Homo-oligomer: A and B are copies of this chain.
Amino acid sequence: MVFPPRVSVVEVGPRDGLQNEPARIATADKIAYVNALSRGGAPVIEVTAFVSPKWIPQLADADDVYRGITRREGTRYTALVPNLAGLSRAETAGATEVAIFASASETFSRRNINQSIEESLETYRGVCARARENGMRVRAYLSTAFGCPFEGDVPAARVATIADALIAMGAFEVAVSDTIGSAHPGQVPRIIEAVGAHVPVNRIALHFHDTRGTALANVLAALDLGVTTFDASAGGLGGCPYAPGAAGNLATEDLIYMLDGLGVETGITLEAVVEASRFMESRVGHALPSRYLQAVG
């Protein structure tokens, strides 16, 4: 196996991690959390989502959070936007980079964002066009790429087609996402190969959930295939809200521990991530699922 000298970790704790937490987190605490992650050296932080508070009540303070953070040189601060209204809010808040969220499963798309895949792509084409006019970068998520909670298997060819469409409309990167946490290292090469036939590997990111414990093994398999961008959430914040302690997002600590061991540079200090996680753990009011975090007690 061969490993790259450097990997880019996209910290999604403040958005993907927090969005389903039942306890309402104070705006100042969210800002402190992002700032702690910045100090830890995160190269990219997804700060919040500019969506309707009806959809994600936890992130209703997106504007205040985004404006309130202290920007560190060397860190990019992105935010999820579902449409042109969200893009406007992001722009007003000072964002220069946003993320859009498409699905590879028709059923999941309809249930999650109430649009067909094609309707959502049409929305995102508009977002990408205006973002480009405004000099903003757009990152694209592609959810349910490794399986759908409603449809089960999702054909790799469909994943590849939609990834291609997202890059074609102007996204600089597509985060191929294991929404239900069922991906395993046998599946990773099949998906990377299919997507890689349309999208250069340096524009493919992977977003794994550790639901079945396979996330780090998936990263290892993907590193061997040349992928160098991975999403992670400090503490593994973003576990299943109705199963406390169950794993959701791959924990940043677990990822950094492995990458440090492999000699792969990330620019992120493990201890600083632990500190940020400890802080947020005290605010959400339950243990976070990161194995590393639990091990260092």
Listed in ascending order, the chain A residues whose CB lies under 8 Å from chain B are 1, 181, 184-187, 210-217, 219-221, 224, 243, 245-247, 251, 254, 257-258, 260-263, 287, 290-292, 294-295, 297
Q: Given A214-B257, A220-B185, A261-B185, are A243 and B292 neighbors across the interface (CB < 8 Å)?
A: no
Q: Given A217-B220, A243-B297, A247-B291, are A185 and B257 neighbors across the interface (CB < 8 Å)?
A: no
List 18 additional A-B contacts (Cβ < 8 Å) besides A210-B291, A213-B216, A213-B251: A1-B1, A1-B224, A181-B295, A184-B260, A185-B258, A186-B258, A187-B261, A210-B213, A213-B215, A213-B254, A214-B257, A214-B261, A214-B291, A216-B217, A245-B245, A245-B287, A246-B297, A247-B294
Cα distance, A262 to B287, chains bound together (Å): 32
Query: Copies per complex?
Result: 2
Most B-side CB within 10 Å, residue of A217, A251, A262:
A217
Chain B minimum-CB-distance residue to A263: B186
Cα distance, A260 to B210, chains bound together (Å): 17
A-B CB contact pairs (8 Å), 7 listed? A187-B261, A210-B213, A212-B257, A212-B291, A214-B258, A246-B294, A247-B291
- Least Cβ–Cβ distance between A67 and chain B, in angstroms: 35
- Least Cβ–Cβ distance between A244 and chain B, in angstroms: 10
